[in-house]
Amino acid sequence: MGRTHTIVGFGDSITLCSRQPDGQKWLQLLEAQLANAFPSTDFKAINSGIGGNSAREAMARFDRDVAAHRPDVVLLQFGGNNSKRLDPNQMVDMDEFREHLACFRAGMAALGEPAVIVVTFPPIVDRWHAKAMNYPLQMYAEWGGTDAFVEVYRAETRAFAQANGYPLLDLSAELRQRAPDDPGRFILPDGVHLTDTGNRVLADLACAAIGATLHT
């Protein structure tokens, strides 16, 4: 074995993956898949996801939860919690979101440019999520629903990836394409978090994306 390749998943509850038991979280599945795919390389996947984090809250812990690990690869996944109208103090508007993305980019430069893979927030099933969180569907009606509101942030993360030459793992688009009429295949009844199948898809996509970086 050579040196260990450290992978940090940096994001919110989708990264944290608290709904799955230990050993079945997507970053753990990813570590095992990489070990099988690249047996001559040692991998360590670190879960730096915290449920409910907006981009503001995530970037406040960047030094501790990303930089301190000296990562070789960072899987960047946040944006969904920027839109929490139930907690206005947590809302992150688009200008502020761009500032946090720029700070993340500067942080990567300071670390010597580790590989970055940008992951979009998964689809939100509006009616399920509103029921689980006990808010009226009308709360996001002027934007076309919660999912449409979050799509603005997804679009910004896609643009950020393109502008900086980062590979994009478009989880939202991928899950919609795979099961356009069966969201329950990938999304739990709370309308936002991933099922076991959804987590396996995310691990598979991340493994392929990281494998591609190892060959460049």
Q: Where are the domains of the chain?
A: 4-214
Express each pLDDT in 142-193 by its tens digit: 989 999 999 999 999 999 999 999 999 999 999 999 999 999 999 999 999 9
80-118: buried (b, 16+ CB within 10 Å) or exposed (e) per residue? bbbbeeeeeebebeeeebeebbeebbebbeeeeebbbbb
Average pLDDT, the chain: 94
What confidence score (pLDDT) does residue 3 get? 78
- Residue 56: pLDDT band (50, 70, 90) is very high
Instruction: Identify the pLDDT of residue 108.
Output: 98
pLDDT in tens, 74-90: 999 988 899 777 777 77
pTM (2 d.p.):
0.95
State the fold for domain 4-214.
Rossmann fold (3.40.50)
